Structure 1
Amino acid sequence: MRNKRPNIVLIMTDQQRWDTLGCYGNDCIETANLDWLASQGTVFKHAYTPSPSCVPARACLMTGMNTWQTGILGMGAGQGGMGTGFPHTLPGELAKAGYHTQGIGKMHFHPQRSLNGFHHTVLDESGRVEDPGFVSDYKRWFDQHKTGDYGITDHGIDWNSWMARPYHAPEFLHPSNWTVNESIAFLERRDPNQPFFLKTSFARPHSPYDAPEFYFNLYLNKQLPMPAVGDWAERHDDPVESRKPFAWRGKRSEKEIHRARAGYYGLIHHIDHQIGRLLMYLNKNGLMDNTMIMFMSDHGDMLGDHHLWRKTYAYEGSAHIPMIVKLPASFGRQEQIVEEPVTLQDIMPTVLEAAGVSVPDCVDGSSMVNLMLGKSDGWRSYVHGEHSTCYAEEQEMQYLTDGKMKYVWLPRLHEEQLFDLESDPMELCDLKAHPDKQQELLKWRQRLIDELAPRNAGLTDEAGLVSQAGKPYLISPYYKLRTEAKVGR
């Protein structure tokens, strides 16, 4: 019988693609702690980000709303930051219900010291200084504890670079260690009379790919998967863009790609060990049984797939994310794998249901509790994602997927793509022109039309989808309303 409100730990990585965990079938990477967590809970096989870059994805997670309702359609043209005008947030609802709430690591709020419902935050903002005089808690700690005359970026790698090298400072100074140090410190000083909500938010494996030397070398000396390159990807072989150390597309040499992937895999292995420290603390202190533990990323990383780097794309490396949830023991047996498509706005209603807290009417997501308990009746058929223009107009996108098929529309090129993820999980073959797939294409196109038409934003008309070439950037009206603290429906 559920007679005690559960504690909640939400662990989030930044820019981790779905296929970089052992429990998702990767036999090159070592993620023993997360694989163990998966064995105790549920792996969501088809989890997708609603917008594959940091701010819009995190806004959906924090509010349970879709991108149109948060007012943040990407990171780029016409889009704003994650401010404080949301009607309800996950930590805010939990705080009102008596939870002690703490955010640690990367929050990406604006202003940066905003709480957005947390009682307190301890920040690592990856070098971003958006407010006058802002110094992150991690940087202040780093400068107090460093062993020489160096800074957090003295490895010389840009925050969005494909380049990689071992971490330049002692391992104990790495932000992944600090994030877990602070998480454990919170657990030690929290109010013992209240249940707690802890968001542990890592700034890696987002570039720089600067794994500590042990982890970097481990994967540098391994054979790793090379990029998948589709029959449609030639346009992204851009010799001019590829010269940039922060290129969003273009081919690099096999050695450079291997180093990038070694650094990225090493960062994930390192994070897994740090998560192990947090899990050990929970276990040692008798907190595991009555704690809901959730693990996910905000979006993925292309790592050179289809000659693309970074994120913001509809493709699997960017949009498909890992998601693992362990319910409190009082919920009973969980399904080990869930096939239904889920997304980040489902996190808030899932947590609130598990905590026995009412879900606000503004929430677009759905609780996944029943899915984890083997009840899938009435679940959605697919998820929708989008991203505004960021690196270049041509990469603005809308997508739909059920985890088996994926439909992509590039509005400023007015081009479609169709992929069969069951037979072609790396999207090597675009089926939009295949004679046998025309009915499938029409079905998915109509679904996107039905998704976008209610916006009345010029994306659709009586004939279908409308090219956005040369048109003003898409901006949700809810952004202005939200920034004025008047968000409504």
Structure 2
Amino acid sequence: MYKRPNVLLIMTDQQRWDTLGCYGNKAIETANLDWLASEGTVFTSAYSSTPSCTPARASLMTGMDPWNTGILGMGRGQGPMKGLENTLPEQLAGAGYHTQGVGKMHFHPQRSLFGFHHTVLDESGREDEPGFVSDYRRWFEQNKTGDYGFTDHGIDWNSWMARPYHAPEFLHPTNWTVNESIRFIQNRDPGKPFFLKMSFARPHSPYDAPAFYYDIYEKKDIPKPLIGEWSAMHHVEKDAASPDAWRGKRSDGEIRRARIGYYGNIHHIDLQIGRLLMYLKKIGQLDHTLILFTSDHGDMMGDHHLWRKTYAYEGSAHIPLIVKLPKAMEGALVERSNAPVCLQDIMPTILDAAGVPIPDSVDGRSLLPLIRGESTPWREFVHGEHSTCYSELQEMQYVTDGRWKYIWFPRIGTEQLFDLASDPGECVDLATDEDHSVELNRWRDKLVAVLAERNAGLTEQGALVCQAGKPPIVSPKYEGMCIR
């Protein structure tokens, strides 16, 4: 009889793809995740189809494309994550799994379970309903060692500012997330396999790494921002003046400190992940556990004078994805895959590995054939989008196969083309280069074909239609999700 594996889904918040040693970063120390990568498969062309928290997590939870979850971003016309059905934890719970969510969920209402038997929450500063207090914040207040609060570092939740953590390290939300995850494994139903989604609130700002980690990167030579020849449009002093700026150049020292705090947070997370892996090994469950590591989206970190997320650019949309199969499923595995994959593929991968039927509502595909090196038809590209959030300049649609990337800005009617093979930093925009007009038309046509199926006024007679001055695009699927 097939014994279903435990499933550990590790998710960070706002971690760009190039901040792990296994993705080629020589400055950062991520020993535990690099070990996980050496034992599994690294997906080098994984993308977030809607690179901001709510829509990305909705696609991960359901395996559905953004148009079908009904959430196209966190901007105009878009709603919160509610009414989800046929979710990953729901399917696993129905198949006999003990399911638990720890950390950041971004559900609405915030105590919704969406198939989890239980959740223990760290929602950072989000308080969507009167009286809501996250489990982490309640624990922090009960265990702090002095007269201070959990935001007394003085940094906002979307700021570029950085500094060492202001409280003892044991109070940091990263430690708490792993503590609660280990507590769940200790207290789980021993007669069932478990599904644990361990969801960290970092390295998303505040960039508040504990002093030990902050000091490491303060002494290191870490990568500087990538600045393209087209990036001057985002060098806007008025916008940069905001403590939570979405664009604009801060001083070199401020940018470096942001990256120091961000790298330190990732190093901290890696060591805490190591604690959980050691515990699983100690109790004899590591070899019986399917482990996946990913993030909901990235962080521009000053690249092209941009901050935060929601963009089609590599720093925002390109995410890490590592899959390690349980020992019983191991064999001739592919170490690295450059197939274009996305968050929608995580749910069917887990269900496939667990021997659980995949609902018809799922748009993503199981990654197991890619991991095993099987000859299988695969998508040619990933399509992504995001509604207006910070500015109409930022609303976008994109298509990429990890080799080329085409971006369209619906509200201003402009486009960009990047050759990621020769220009992975997207510093040279080829959209106006006559020598690349054939490539431009080829990729524009791919986006037109995707959007034409929606019949939402984004295309007409095979061409893209500028949305300047028009109401926000809203998926008709969202209302149905909310009714459910």
Task: Look up the match of 1:143.
Answer: 141
Q: Return the offset for 1:331.
A: 1.6
Superposed CA offset, 1:156-206 (max 9, x none): 000000000000000000000000000000000000000100000000000
> For each residue in 1:227-262, what CA deviation from the matched residue of structure 2 results, as whole angstroms up to 9, or x when unmatched?
001111111001000000000000011100000000
Following superposition, the deviation at residue 42 of structure 1 comes to: 0.5
Residue 243 (1) aligns with residue 241 (2) = yes
Query: Stretches of 4+ moved more than 2 A in 1?
Result: none
Matched, 1:368 2:370: no
Q: 2:182 aligns with which of 184, 187, 190?
A: 184
Compute the displacement of 1:123 (Å): 0.1
Letter in 1 for 2:274: G
- 2:395 maps to 1:390: no
1:324-380 alpha-carbon deviations (Å, 9 max, x no partner) = 000111222221101101000000000000000000001000000010000242011
Inter-partner Cα distance in structure 1 for 2:408 and 2:23: 27
Alignment of 1:113-124 (within 5 A): 113-124=111-122
The structure-2 alpha-carbon separation of the partners of 1:331 and 1:260, relative to structure 1 and needing over 3 Å to count, comes to same
Query: In structure 2, what is the equivalent of residue 257 of structure 1?
Result: 255
Structure 2 unaligned segments of length 5 or more: list them: none
Percent identity, aligned pairs only, is 68
Q: Corresponding residue for 1:446? A: 445
- Whole-Å Cα distance in 2 between the matches of residues 332 and 11 of structure 1? 20
Contact 2:292–2:321 (CA<8 Å) still a contact in 1? yes
Give the match for residue 330 of structure 2: 332
Question: Using the alignment, how far apart are the partners of 2:114 and 2:427 within structure 1?
Answer: 41
Match of 2:229 in 1: 231
Distance 1:437 1:97 in 2: 51
Q: Is the 8 A contact 2:85 2:114 kept in 1?
A: no
In the alignment, what sits opposite 1:168?
Answer: 166
1:301 aligned residue (280, 299, 302): 299
1:289-321 per-position Cα deviation (integer Å, ceiling 9, x unaligned): 110000000000000000000000000000000
- Identify the residue that residue 15 of structure 2 maps to in structure 1: 16
Tell me, in whole angstroms, the C-alpha distance in 1 between the residues paired with 2:122 and 2:79: 20
CA distance, structure 2, for counterparts of residue 325 and residue 30 of structure 1: 19
Q: What amino acid is aligned across from residue 408 of structure 2 in structure 1?
A: W
Q: Which residue is 2:379 aligned to?
A: 380
CA distance in 2 between counterparts of 1:39 and 1:105 reads 26
TM-score normalised by L of structure 2 = 0.99
Q: Is the 8 A contact 2:9 2:292 kept in 1?
A: yes
- The residue identity in structure 2 corresponding to 1:139 is R
Map 1:60-209 → 2, pairs under 5 A: 60-83=59-82, 85-209=83-207
State how far apart, in whole Å, the 2-side matches of 1:231 and 1:170 are: 43
Correspondence for 1:477: 476
CA shift for structure 1 position 223:
1.1
- Between the aligned partners of 1:7 and 1:87, the Cα distance in structure 2 is 22
Could you say which residue in structure 2 is the equivalent of 1:282?
Answer: 280
Q: Which residue of 2 aligns with 1:27?
A: 26
Decide whether the 8 Å contact of 2:109 with 2:128 is kept in 1: yes
Distance 2:334 2:319 in 1: 19
How far did 1:87 drift?
Answer: 2.7
- Structure 1 gaps, min length 5: none
Write the distance in 2 (CA, Å) between the matches of 1:109 and 1:336.
34
**Matched letter for residue 299 of structure 2:** D
> Per the alignment, do residues 97 and 463 of structure 1 end up closer, same or farther by CA in structure 2, a change over 3 Å counting?
closer
Matches of 1:54 and 1:87 in 2, distance apart?
A: 19
Q: For the Cα contact (< 8 Å) 2:448–2:459, is it kept in 1? A: yes
Superposition RMSD on alpha carbons, in Å? 0.7
Distance 2:251 2:481 in 1: 45
Whole-angstrom CA distance in 1 between matches of 2:265 and 2:214: 8
| Deviations, residues 394-417 of structure 1 (Å, cap 9, x unaligned) | 100000000000000000111110
Question: What CA distance in whole angstroms lies between the structure 1 residues aligned with 2:419 and 2:471?
Answer: 33
| SS of residue in 2 equivalent to 1:289 | helix
Distance in 2 between residues matched to 1:253 and 1:269, nearest whole Å: 24
- In the alignment, the residues of structure 2 paired with residue 109 and residue 418 of structure 1 have an alpha-carbon distance, to the nearest angstrom, of 35
In structure 2, C-alpha distance between the alignment counterparts of 1:39 and 1:342, rounded to whole Å: 19
Q: Which amino acid aligns with 1:235?
A: M
AA partner of residue 410 (structure 1): F
SS at match of 2:200: strand
